[in-house]
Amino acid sequence: MLFEGLELVSALATLAACLVSVTLLLAVSQQLWQLRWAATRDKSCKLPIPKGSMGFPLIGETGHWLLQVFSKIFSHEALESYLPKIQLVIQDTLRAWSSQPEAINVYQEAQRLTFRMAVRVLLGFSIPEEDLGHLFEVYQQFVENVFSLPVDLPFSGYRRGIQARQILQKGLEKAIREKLQCTQGKDYSDALDILIESSKEHGKEMTMQELKDGTLELIFAAYATTASASTSLIMQLLKHPAVLEKLREELRAQGLLHGGGCPCEGTLRLDTLSSLRYLDCVIKEVMRLFTPISGGYRTVLQTFELDGFQIPKGWSVMYSIRDTHDTAPVFKDVNVFDPDRFSQARSEDKDGRFHYLPFGGGVRTCLGKHLAKLFLKVLAVELASTSRFELATRTFPRITLVPVLHPVDGLSVKFFGLDSNQNEILPETEAMLSATV
């Protein structure tokens, strides 16, 4: 008994010594990390560096943040050519939603919609629907593991992400080769066409690996944030029926709802959408109040002052889009969904340069912002024209901000199709219409 007691005491002492050693190591390493950042201060500037923690070595404040929370492709001409295709994809999708007997998870279906839009419209791939569905599932697995720790171990998120990326690139390579072999019958130049032609103009032939990387980047850029904004748009139209009705009134006034019917394919043009002032206000307010991402990162090119502190050259800083929108003095009643704040009479966003920046700002602003707004406008027009929809749960879901803003457990909504006189289409009729598409 005496020896067993001594062994227990010895084991406890060893454990305690290990814990103390690890704690001291962490404390010393964090202090060295702090000194490392303190040494980067600009000696020519007398201002102090900001107070606060720089986090732990290598990972910095990443953990704390997680807990807290090309140009031709998007030119006017390119967007004009995408528009009919985008409208067709959205019309097909809404028709499918309204033909479902049960409510749908809007966020999941919005992800599927934006993925389909990127593949069909931006890239011009003619992938069979069954293969497209499989590719979407693989892509979801890839996206879910993008932010995994870079530890390549079996069953780790990083390994699953790498495997998903390999499957994706194999499928994309097949689609690219088929696209390059079939050049007849195209009625517009998609983003991949423009990317290839632009490279040729600069005397460079893109390799297959570059093409695969470029297509994957385009899909990624058009996927998560647009799905997030689409879901927020539908949620706000559900919450504010007066906004939806006012939007319908504008469509009628502009002749887009002839006798109550929906705008036909090809009737929407960029100038038509630009003339819809209230529609623009609605999209702007959705992006103000429900910005898909929290912010962006930049490298300080020149030491500058912020609230009496110096931000040294070479530091990496994060600007917060959501905090900017929440605290900007130009916006009145910031928590209220009020599209009219962007009307010509009020123009709250015009009082200053950097109070409204859902797509970032400066030379590094989001290249795809015009495509994203175009997609959201067409979606809003089609929703107001062809669908009646209602919340399928008693209350609206909570919102989470990670990795992009979206409803927890999605948004359950029942869709009903409308005929040319804004009357609800019976399920059997809707099924017949869907079968003919």
Q: How far is CA 400 from CA 412, 428, 433, in A?
A: 16, 37, 37
Cis ω for the linkage preceding 101 (within 30 of 0): no
How many other CB atoms sit within 10 Å of the CB of residue 41? 17
Beta strand residue intervals within 84-176, DSSP E: 104-105
Whether the Cβ atoms of residue 42 and residue 303 lie closer than 8 Å to each other: yes
Kindly give the pairing relationship between strand 406-407 and strand 399-400.
Answer: antiparallel
CA distance 179 to 211: 12
CA distance 226 to 218: 12
DSSP class per residue in 322-348: HHHHHH-TTSSSTTS--GGGGSTTT-G
Q: Tell me if 366 is assigned to a ligand binding site.
A: yes
Q: How far is CA 181 from CA 170, 174, 257, in A?
A: 17, 11, 41
**CA 355, 360, 361 angle in degrees (round to 5)?**
75
Which residues are documented as binding site? 366
Which residues are documented as binding site for heme? 366
